[in-house]
Structure 1
Amino acid sequence: MKEKSSHKFIVYQMMFHLWGNTNTDLAFNGSCERNGVTKFKDVSLKALQALAKKGYTHLYATGIIEHATMEDFTAYGSPLDHPSIVKGRAGSPFAIKDYYDVNPFLASEPAKRMEEFEEMLERIHVSGLHLILDFVPNHLARQYYSDKKPKGIIDFGMNDQTDKSFDPNNNFYYLPGTQFSVPSGLDIPVPYSIPYIEIPAKVSGNNVFSAQPSKDDWFETVKLNYGIDFQHEEKTYFDPIPDTWLKLLDVLIYWTNKGVDSFRCDMAEMVPVEFWAYVIPKIKAIKPEITFIAEIYQPHRYHEYIFQGGFDYLYDKVGLYDALRRLMEERPEATVEDITRVWQHESGEFAEHMLRFLENHDETRINSPGFAKHNLWSTIPAMVVTACLHHGPVMLYMGQEFGEAANEVEGFNMAQDRTSMFDFWRVETHQRWMNQGKFDGALLTKEEKLLDEFYVDLFQWVHAHPAIQKGHFFDLQYAQNEHYPKRKVYSFLRYTSKEKLLIVCNFESKQSYSLDIQLPTLAKDMMNVSGVNCQLIKAFIPPTSKEFSSTIDGAILPPNSAYIFKIS
């Protein structure tokens, strides 16, 4: 059987404006000057070397491209945004205000912000890392205006026929005869006396055809028009190529030429697959090694976005993440059979195209009451499966490796379970790892250090083993006898012609299990082995566990643990 190439890179997601902030004296709804904010220079060679040492290969820097904010940078050419259409003092990283600029507040000298970004990108590459940049194709800030656009570029909406609700060459959708109304119930921390005027009202980013969206809608954004007439049975007008497609191709070309290594494409499923099939080959013609990652939540569309659209990787949220979260929460209905169902749907054609994670900026923190209920060590079996199930990429969100609980109330973000992307704040555990620029974790608690050591150990182990990097996969659940705890223990094989591994994960938080793993004849034939000898080569166990075994015979698998055996 032919062995596959490796896709197993490891992504570190940084909420960029929070990443380098060392300020601990924070004010509710504080400004960037009051509360602090990351500067490009904070991503120093020392910081990058510390990240690379942990095993990361790619940095997903969320919130680099300029977005709408309540901060005033008019002195540096950036128009002031009306505070009634901005979420939080910082604003949403996904309400892009100028596609050809970076956020001024990220620069030590805002007038030289692009130069500072380029210097940071060079440091990233010198450190052997790659930069993933957000590409937000579905919507823009309501007051989009580019003061940094290259010569010949025309802003979105400048040539729109605003008296038409839809036109194939309009960049936005309109509600003629209406005026936009700010959602009711907003608490806006920056006072304003001049009302925001938008006539006619534009359709909001989450396809809300209303002149007054709710505060829970993406009211701060406007939907981009790709040539789909939503009000008339979603009829498409893709020939000739719509103007929006051409404008966004120019954006991708601009950042590709800057040296960006990958694009994480926000809500890619809300953009027609035909657009991706048009732009991705053109960008890969410029830079063949560049990769495209799609945020997508409709499994029935995975195939078309990979094989028609041309995406390299898709978010595996509605699939493995949801299955593992149920197990980590110990819901009554949770079973490892859900993992089997995930790979059965994804296997063969596109398992290697799935980017897997346990946290990102949209999801609740593992170490919060609504998720793992502060059982940090449920992370072990879930993360081993996330990293080892197939050979697609893995992502970790800053602070996850220390058990960040995100239990502070920042301002716009009032939920005590997610790190805010809308406020100027901090990530408390991450701050202590940074330790004022030493990046040594000296201020972390003993438990936080042990959790971090688990992630580092796992990622470095993944890098060192070809069977995990590019090996084949075999699910063993179906072959186990009646004594095997099928609801809580998940077993699988990863193998190449030279390395064969058995991985067993226990999702039970309190109970140990004796191991009696059956290897079916089919598995032996596929691995080209007859007699089987299993030797334990790696054990990921909670620090509270004392149980350990060097062989599979009679081995006891502790709660929230994972054993990896070498088959010879």
Structure 2
Amino acid sequence: MKKLTLLIIVLGIISCQPSQKQAPVQPESPQGKFVVYQVFTRLFGNTNTTNKSWGSIEENGVGKFNDFTDRALDTLKSMGITHIWYTGVPHHCVITDYTKYGISNDDPDVVKGRAGSPYAVKDYFNVNPDLAVDPAKRMEEFEALIARTHKHGMKVIIDIVPNHVARNYQSLSKPEGVNDFGENDDISVEYKRHNNFYYIPGEAFKVPESLNGYRPLGGEKHLLADDWFDENPAKWTGNGSRLAQPNFYDWYETVKVNYGVKPDGSYDFDVLPDDYDTKDYKAHFEFWQGKDVPDSWQKFLDIALFWMEKGVDGFRYDMAEMVPVEFWSYMNSTLKMKNPDAFLLAEVYNPALYRDYIHKGKMDYLYDKVELYDTLKHIMQGHGSTDHLTAIYDGLKDIEHHMLHFLENHDEQRIASNDFAGSAEKGKPAMVVSTCLSTSPTMIYFGQNVGEPGDENMGFGSETRTSIFDYCGVPAHQRWMNNGTFDGGQSTPVEKELHTFYKRLLKFSAHSAALMGEYREIHSYNRKNTKGYTDKIFSFVRWNEDEQLIIVSNFDDSGHKFQLKLDEETVKELKLKNGKCILTDQLSGNPNFELQVEDGTAIIDIKMVGLESLILKL
């Protein structure tokens, strides 16, 4: 078996003394970090390996809700997973014909791929019919999945996409008394406060001009693929384009939702007082009571409450920064009044907006994408420096708990893809840093644990990202899944070793008390004072009253040998006294590490192979 590329070293709370009997190690905390497993629901259980470009559901297969069996969920739970984000659940546009179930066909001219984008939702009050064994009972099958997930001790997250809906939004399942988006709009004007959409009066929608020879469905003949879609007057496109004929690279399959923001950018609703960034969700909830809010606000609140009634525990909000923060205050405070433990995660990419969306918008978590993820990606690719990591933590210190960490998701390239790192092994030290750096949740994307490269060209979109638009199988994930046994029976030795690494790291993080405690970097001190310690290595300390951790990651393909030093202040924080301690690696159980404390400083002899990391438990 290959040597693990990570060693986690945990320092116990007992001081190092040369002739003192060691006290018992404290038990693990019952709850450490949240660990989110993002899964593209229609791909997870698919065992079909055909992978024909633009292949139909019959040719390439599709996963179902029922593929998340007790065995599958038990396996995920054993990895330390606390929350499952089931991506692509709400009913979005698809090309497969479901007219016998009363579902209208979707037009390929405004659908990306054959299976459709999960972010072009067609009906918010039902689920994707592709995911059900019996499409007529698709909601019942999803409700059963919610119950199974809860039975295995994990919580359920689904997407809500408030910025836009499918261009042909039409809910067949809406509750009595609920109007569709746009049903009561005044379409003679560009903007009206209670309109759900923005309009381009006097102009009809035109399908974007194709680029690079693109044809819907790969050029396959289809009755509705005729370069025409009936929408008159045209609506603004989801990404904000105000053209009746949007660009091919616009989100042309969607339309922008109006939240009471006038075309000139001014607000047509009450604005939160400045001091509300210091108030809790209860105060925010009270602020909105009795206030007249735009119709779209109420519609999306009703949608979120509908899913919470089904047992959904939280939401991932797509492109949240394109929706005003006041709406989030209104919606999230209401959801928290219903369920204070609701998990509310937002996609926000502008660091200047982070604190507003956390403090005023009452988001629990935001993507730490443009700072931590992008920096780690550059380091993994070989042209970044770990010196930059210290400033990232310091800059986000006041909100570090709210910045969810990840290395892969459905929007990003797979680590193993040639355009990213070309090797899943290079993600190991980055995953250690990403997981252990702060108290925030960690997210892993399905297939990441076995090094899926995402190099299939399935139709719409480019390689290096597992397709979210077409039907396909995910080869490395399928080998690990092994026809539903989830034992890695078909995995390669490298894939098995990688899965073991992820399982041990994530499970450890889900129970580590120290990872919910204090942080101190020792990287800068070692860069100045330690020979052989380079900017391809990163080290820091995590601790609380029950547990202490030293974490060192080597991002270099080559090995390094040096004496890791703990400065006087760190020794004081860890309450270490003169003497020697034997330290044990928590992933491999290797006890062959020694911490020597003398006169206020501490030294550990480190010998690391390429892409390895070190951390020590008393």
Asked if these proteins are the same fold (TM beyond 0.5), I'd say yes
Write the distance in 2 (CA, Å) between the matches of 1:44 and 1:518.
48
Residue 105 (structure 2) aligns with: 80
Q: Which moved more, 1:233-242 or 1:179-188?
A: 233-242
1:380 aligns with 2:428: yes
Write the distance in 2 (CA, Å) between the matches of 1:554 and 1:289.
44
**For 1:41, what is the secondary structure of its paired residue?**
helix
Deviation at 1:26, TM superposition (A): 3.3
Tell me how large the CA RMSD over aligned residues is.
1.9
Deviation at 1:499, TM superposition (A): 1.6
Deviation at 1:540, TM superposition (A): 6.6
Write the distance in 1 (CA, Å) between the matches of 2:431 and 2:182.
45
**For 1:24, what is the secondary structure of its paired residue?**
coil
1:318 aligns with 2:370: yes
Deviations 1:145-183 (CA, angstroms, capped at 9, x unpaired)? 000000110100011111111111110111111111101
Residue 601 (structure 2) aligns with: none
Write the distance in 1 (CA, Å) between the matches of 2:555 and 2:422.
14
**Could you tell me whether the CA contact under 8 Å between 1:534 and 1:565 is conserved in 2?**
no
1:361 aligns with 2:410: yes
- Give the aligned residue type for 2:613: A
Residue 192 (structure 1) aligns with: 223
Residue 340 (structure 1) aligns with: 390
Write the distance in 2 (CA, Å) between the matches of 1:456 and 1:203.
45
Deviation at 1:533, TM superposition (A): 4.6
1:211 aligns with 2:244: yes
Residue 540 (structure 2) aligns with: 492
Residue 220 (structure 1) aligns with: 253
**For 1:517, what is the secondary structure of its paired residue?**
strand
Write the distance in 2 (CA, Å) between the matches of 1:74 and 1:538.
58
- Give the aligned residue type for 1:507: F
Deviation at 1:350, TM superposition (A): 1.1
Write the distance in 1 (CA, Å) between the matches of 2:30 and 2:396.
17
Residue 234 (structure 1) aligns with: 266
Deviations 1:134-153 (CA, angstroms, capped at 9, x unpaired)? 01110000000000000110
**Could you tell me whether the CA contact under 8 Å between 2:259 and 2:324 is conserved in 1?**
yes
1:449 aligns with 2:449: no
**Could you tell me whether the CA contact under 8 Å between 2:32 and 2:512 is conserved in 1?**
no
Aligned length, in residue pairs = 551
**For 1:80, what is the secondary structure of its paired residue?**
coil
- Give the aligned residue type for 1:388: C
Write the distance in 2 (CA, Å) between the matches of 1:271 and 1:532.
57
Deviations 1:508-537 (CA, angstroms, capped at 9, x unpaired)? 112x22232332232233333444755432
1:371 aligns with 2:423: no
Of 432, 446, 455, the match for 1:398? 446
**Could you tell me whether the CA contact under 8 Å between 1:549 and 1:555 is conserved in 2?**
no
Write the distance in 2 (CA, Å) between the matches of 1:93 and 1:464.
33
Deviations 1:42-81 (CA, angstroms, capped at 9, x unpaired)? 1111111111112211111110100011111121122211
Deviation at 1:6, TM superposition (A): 6.1
Deviation at 1:435, TM superposition (A): 1.1
User: Identity over the aligned pairs, expressed in percent?
Assistant: 42
**Could you tell me whether the CA contact under 8 Å between 2:345 and 2:363 is conserved in 1?**
yes
Q: Which moved more, 1:32-41 or 1:320-329?
A: 32-41
> Residue 464 and residue 289 in structure 1: after superposition, are their counterparts in 2 closer, same or farther (change >3 A)?
closer
Residue 30 (structure 1) aligns with: 55
Residue 544 (structure 1) aligns with: none
Deviation at 1:31, TM superposition (A): 1.7
1:144 aligns with 2:169: yes
**For 1:47, what is the secondary structure of its paired residue?**
helix
> Residue 26 and residue 381 in structure 1: after superposition, are their counterparts in 2 closer, same or farther (change >3 A)?
closer
Residue 432 (structure 1) aligns with: 479
Write the distance in 2 (CA, Å) between the matches of 1:416 and 1:535.
47
Deviation at 1:32, TM superposition (A): 1.5
Of 401, 415, 419, the match for 1:352? 401
Deviation at 1:281, TM superposition (A): 1.3
**For 2:563, what is the secondary structure of its paired residue?**
coil
Write the distance in 1 (CA, Å) between the matches of 2:268 and 2:371.
30
Write the distance in 2 (CA, Å) between the matches of 1:130 and 1:539.
27
Write the distance in 1 (CA, Å) between the matches of 2:45 and 2:581.
45
Residue 182 (structure 1) aligns with: 207
Write the distance in 2 (CA, Å) between the matches of 1:564 and 1:528.
17
> Residue 535 and residue 354 in structure 1: after superposition, are their counterparts in 2 closer, same or farther (change >3 A)?
farther
- Give the aligned residue type for 2:449: E
Q: Give structure 2 stretches of 5+ with no counterpart.
A: 1-28, 271-290, 596-603
> Residue 159 and residue 340 in structure 1: after superposition, are their counterparts in 2 closer, same or farther (change >3 A)?
same
Residue 518 (structure 1) aligns with: 565
Deviation at 1:346, TM superposition (A): 1.0
Write the distance in 1 (CA, Å) between the matches of 2:577 and 2:326.
49
Of 159, 165, 181, the match for 2:190? 165
Kindly report which structure 2 residues correspond to 1:8-27, keeping only aligned pairs within 5 A, or say none: 8-27=33-52
Q: Which moved more, 1:396-405 or 1:549-558?
A: 549-558
Deviation at 1:409, TM superposition (A): 1.1
Deviation at 1:192, TM superposition (A): 2.9
Residue 234 (structure 2) aligns with: 201
Kindly report which structure 2 residues correspond to 1:553-564, keeping only aligned pairs within 5 A, or say none: 553-564=604-615
Deviations 1:475-514 (CA, angstroms, capped at 9, x unpaired)? 112322342534111110000123221111111112x222
Kindly report which structure 2 residues correspond to 1:27-106, keeping only aligned pairs within 5 A, or say none: 27-106=52-131
> Residue 210 and residue 377 in structure 1: after superposition, are their counterparts in 2 closer, same or farther (change >3 A)?
same
Write the distance in 1 (CA, Å) between the matches of 2:510 and 2:230.
54
TM-score, normalisation: structure 1: 0.93
**For 1:516, what is the secondary structure of its paired residue?**
strand
Residue 416 (structure 1) aligns with: 463
Deviations 1:328-384 (CA, angstroms, capped at 9, x unpaired)? 0001xx11122111101111x21111111110000000001111122x322221011
Kindly report which structure 2 residues correspond to 1:227-306, keeping only aligned pairs within 5 A, or say none: 227-229=260-262, 231-238=263-270, 240-306=292-358
**Could you tell me whether the CA contact under 8 Å between 2:584 and 2:591 is conserved in 1?**
no
Of 532, 549, 561, the match for 1:501? 549
Write the distance in 2 (CA, Å) between the matches of 1:345 and 1:328.
22
- Give the aligned residue type for 1:309: G
- Give the aligned residue type for 1:440: D
- Give the aligned residue type for 1:401: N
Residue 551 (structure 1) aligns with: 594
Write the distance in 2 (CA, Å) between the matches of 1:369 and 1:204.
33
> Residue 24 and residue 279 in structure 1: after superposition, are their counterparts in 2 closer, same or farther (change >3 A)?
same
Q: Which moved more, 1:293-302 or 1:30-39?
A: 30-39
